[in-house]
Amino acid sequence: MKQLFVLNAVAIALVIGAAQLRSASPSVVTVSLQRIATQSNVGKRANQQLETLRQERGRELAAKQKALEDVIRQLAKGDALPAADRERLTAEETRQRTELQQSTQQATSDFQSAQTRLQAEIRAQLTPILADIAKRSSVDVVLNADTIAWAAAGSDATNEVLQRMNAVP
């Protein structure tokens, strides 16, 4: 009987110790940054701006590509052209090819800069909301749910974040 009492006391102590360890471990909340980027008003605006920029730059580059292809086609008929015209077209091809490469690099740079700026705008709106949720919920860490293999069902705060972000005009 005494051994049973001691065994029960040890079991209770282990359960209490495990509970204390669990409560002492950092608490975590997850949010889906992908959902925030696609479902929040600020994310939708950012995606639309990036798509508009991509389309504009794409049209400009397509026009330059077509002009270059036209010059290349004219050069392909080079045997029938006088030498001066061939030289002029060759110089024009080189100029247009260089311009197309520079324009492509500039378009890529512009897109990346816009993307970085827009991500900073989203983060500026997102960070205080996450900090408030973490403080209110006594959370130590907020993780991106899109890169986590598993998390408890109640740990996802994405819906609350979206509601608060979309409440801001």
Each residue of 91-126: pLDDT tens digit?
999 999 999 999 999 999 999 999 999 999 999 999
Is 110 inside any structural domain? yes
Q: Which domain holds residue 162?
A: 24-167
Residues contacting 41, CB < 8 A, separation 6+:
165, 166, 168
Is 132 inside any structural domain? yes
Residue 144 has pLDDT above 60, yes or no: yes
Number of structural domains in the chain = 1
Supply 107's token pair. 């378009």
Percent of the chain clearing pLDDT 70 (strictly above):
84
Residue 137 · residue 29 · CB < 8 Å: yes
pLDDT at 59: 98
Is 1 inside any structural domain? no
Residue 22 has pLDDT above 50, yes or no: no
Q: Residue 103: which H helix or E strand, with range? A: helix 83-136
Is 108 inside any structural domain? yes
pLDDT at 26: 61
Is 9 inside any structural domain? no
**pLDDT, mean over the chain:** 86
Is 82 inside any structural domain? yes
Is 144 inside any structural domain? yes
Residue 19 has pLDDT above 90, yes or no: no
Which amino acid is located at 29 in the chain?
Answer: V
pLDDT at 126: 95
Stretch 80-90: mean pLDDT = 88
User: Which CATH number fits the domain that encloses residue 116?
Assistant: 3.30.910.20
Stretch 4-9: mean pLDDT = 43
Is 11 inside any structural domain? no
Widest Cα–Cα separation across the chain:
114
Reduced to 3 states (helix: H, G, I; strand: E, B; else coil), residue 142 is strand
